[in-house]
Copies of this chain bind each other. A is one copy, B any other.
Amino acid sequence: MHDVPDIASVARLMGDPTRARMLTALMDGRALTATELSLQGGVTPSTASSHLARLAAAGLTEIVQQGRHRYFRIASPEVAAAIEGLMSIAPRKELRTIIPGPGTDALRRARVCYDHLAGEVAVRLLERLREKKLVSGVDETLALTVNGEAWCERIGIDLVALNARRRRICRPCLDWSERRTHLGGALGAAILDRLMALRYARRVRASRMVVLSARGEAFVERLG
């Protein structure tokens, strides 16, 4: 007679291929317009519209109205985490890339995962952080060491501000292309911010792709 979580209703929403493509497209953390999402979903605007309405009604996405555009984005880190959880156990699927171009090799190299870095580079970054003993532990025991805290200050990350947020500092995030963990959480997001501010990394317009400059690549190796 009590209330239990109804996972079927959420899972059902994510279980439609079109909606899943839309959600995946939103996993870079940006807000996309309805038409962009209808393209990503490979479906007409009318169909997309009904899908988007349902995702928003269920609280999976948020809507930001701006002029005659409606921007959709993932509603919360919890939703993003749930999607990541599914990604880590999902089978791989051959997907013919709709938009030809550099393709997914570059995506494997470096991309954005909601709000932090993912891909080979991100996995390597965590590896280096661990080798230099700036973070300790694996997976859930992952934490900044004292040295790591000093390093943060050195490269311009405000740890006090980071700690003030209720968000986890070090969060292991399972990389679906590498099958290894990379660094998420508040620190992961902060590092990506710094990389962009320093022009070591830039995001490629309208995609999850991230390109690192030579200095950026060097930073990942030398961490300074």
> Could you tell me the distance in whole angstroms from the C-beta of A102 to the nearest C-beta in chain B?
11
Binds B, one of A79-87, A126-134, A191-199: A79-87
Task: Tell me, yes or no, whether A50 is within 8 Å of chain B by CB.
Answer: no
Which residues of chain A in 1-20 are interfacial with respect to chain B, using CB atoms and an 8 Å cutoff? 1-17, 19-20
Copies of this protein, total: 2
Range, interface on chain A: 35 or more
Point out the residue from B15, B78, B167 that lies within 8 Å of A14, measured CB to CB.
Answer: B15
A78 CB contacts on chain B under 8 angstroms: 85, 88-89, 174
A88 and B97 within 8 A (CB): no
B93 and A89 within 8 A (CB): no
Which partner residue on chain B sits nearest A24 by CB separation? Answer: B7
Which partner residue on chain B sits nearest A100 by CB separation? Answer: B1
A6 and B142 within 8 A (CB): no
Q: Complex Cα distance A88/B3, Å?
A: 13
Q: Complex Cα distance A204/B107, Å?
A: 48
> Could you tell me the distance in whole angstroms from the C-beta of A37 to the nearest C-beta in chain B?
15
Which residues of chain A in 38-72 are interfacial with respect to chain B, using CB atoms and an 8 Å cutoff? 58-60
Which residues of chain A in 139-157 are interfacial with respect to chain B, using CB atoms and an 8 Å cutoff? 139-144
A60 CB contacts on chain B under 8 angstroms: 89
A4-B95, A10-B86, A60-B89 known; 15 new pairs, CB 8 Å cut-off, are A1-B103, A3-B94, A5-B88, A6-B93, A7-B86, A8-B17, A9-B91, A9-B93, A10-B91, A11-B14, A58-B91, A139-B171, A140-B168, A140-B171, A142-B143
11 A-B residue pairs with Cβ-Cβ distance under 8 Å, sorted by A, are A1-B96, A5-B92, A5-B93, A7-B20, A8-B14, A8-B19, A9-B90, A78-B88, A82-B89, A85-B86, A139-B167
Q: Using CB atoms and an 8 Å cutoff, list the residues of chain A in contact with chain B.
A: 1-17, 19-21, 23-24, 58-60, 76, 78-79, 81-97, 103-105, 107-108, 136-144, 166-172, 174, 176, 184-185
